[in-house]
Amino acid sequence: MLTTTRALLSLILCGTVSVCFGSAPAIGLIVADGSFQIDHSKVWDNGTLFAGSLIETSQASSQLQLQNGARVRLAADTRARIFDTHLVLENGIGQVESSNYRIEARSLRISPATSDSVARVQVTDSRHVVVAAYRGEVQVSNKDNILVAMLDSGHELTFDPQAGTTSVTQVSGCLVRTNGKLILVDRTTGVTVELRGSGIENELGNQVEVTGAADNVAPSAPGTSRIVYVETLKRIAKGSCTSAAKATAATAAAGAAAGAAAGLSTAAVVAIVGGVAVTGSLIGLASVHALPGQSQTQASTSR
């Protein structure tokens, strides 16, 4: 009898250990002033997060604290799947406050560029994604890890990742020469590209719109994200790029801002970078103080 009992306990213990090792590891905590769902199960106030968990917020926003130090907020009526390195936003609004973490939405990868930057992302429908730099700089890349946009603090853009192939590029801004290379800083996305092709030097110092094919070869000009072989070039405005033409690549970005100040509205301009169409946004996601459903005294995830 004793032998039978010990054998049974051994089987139970082995089964328990197997279940423990077979389950996904906990990666953090979630706290909310109300209820939410984790993997379709209703939870109140707080819960443990596991890799791959599906989170659905209700009328209140939620705050997530991961073991790797990343901090994420989800607005009310938001659905997302959480992992240790990224969050996949399926619907609603998400905010990430750590440079070592990113939000993925409709094949885009959004992350704060610095440790004190804050990125907000909204999935508006089956195609479009709005990205806002709530604080600091925020970078947006496509599924191939090609830089699509760099947003300054307080700015936001709308993205359509289904615009076309990754080889097509359409950008506009000041055409300047830096370190012997012809570069252009797109006035909508802030992305810097190196231009190659015949006849483009004739528009040096002018504001132009360029359409061309992007090359996967790494560009040789410092600070540029890719090489574009120009197929069509159209002048938008003459001049207004003098300061950029005399500066380095870092100062050349100011030339794009100068072009916008000269009356070129970025809200009306469409850029195509890495197969993603980018336009100005008027949603106001970057200026909203609190996320929908977020109280002034957000619950703490500390224990």
Do 259 and 173 contact (CB within 8 A), yes or no? yes
Residues 34-62, mean pLDDT to the nearest whole number: 95
Residues 253-281, mean pLDDT to the nearest whole number: 63
| Token pair recorded at residue 84 | 């240790």
Q: How confident is the model at residue 267 (pLDDT cuts 50, 70, 90)?
A: very low
Taking the domain 168-273, which CATH number applies?
Answer: 2.40.50
Do 256 and 229 contact (CB within 8 A), yes or no? no
Identify the weakest region by mean pLDDT among 44-53, 151-160, 162-171, 226-235: 162-171
Q: How many residues does the chain have?
A: 303
Do 294 and 22 contact (CB within 8 A), yes or no? no
Does the domain made of 26-160 have the CATH classification 2.60.120.1440? yes
In whole angstroms, give the CA distance from residue 194 to residue 179: 11
Do 79 and 90 contact (CB within 8 A), yes or no? yes
pLDDT at 64 over 70: yes
Ranges for all domains in the chain classified under CATH 2.60.120.1440: 26-160
H/E segment holding residue 3 = helix 2-22
Q: How confident is the model at residue 200 (pLDDT cuts 50, 70, 90)?
A: very high
Residue 183, beta-bridge partner list: 176, 194
Do 207 and 198 contact (CB within 8 A), yes or no? no
How many CA atoms does the CB half-sphere of 260 hold within 13 Å?
A: 16
Note the pLDDT of residue 243. 57
| Token pair recorded at residue 14 | 């082995």
Note the pLDDT of residue 16. 35
- Judge if pTM exceeds 0.85: no
Question: In percent, how much of the chain has pLDDT > 70?
Answer: 79
Would you give the DSSP letter of residue 298?
Answer: P
Q: pLDDT per residue over 100-127, tens digit each? A: 999 999 999 999 999 999 999 999 888 8
Note the pLDDT of residue 269. 61
Note the pLDDT of residue 221. 74
Count the helices and strands in the chain (H runs, E runs): 3, 21
| More confident position, 142 or 23 | 142
Average pLDDT score over the chain = 83
Ranges for all domains in the chain classified under CATH 2.40.50: 168-273
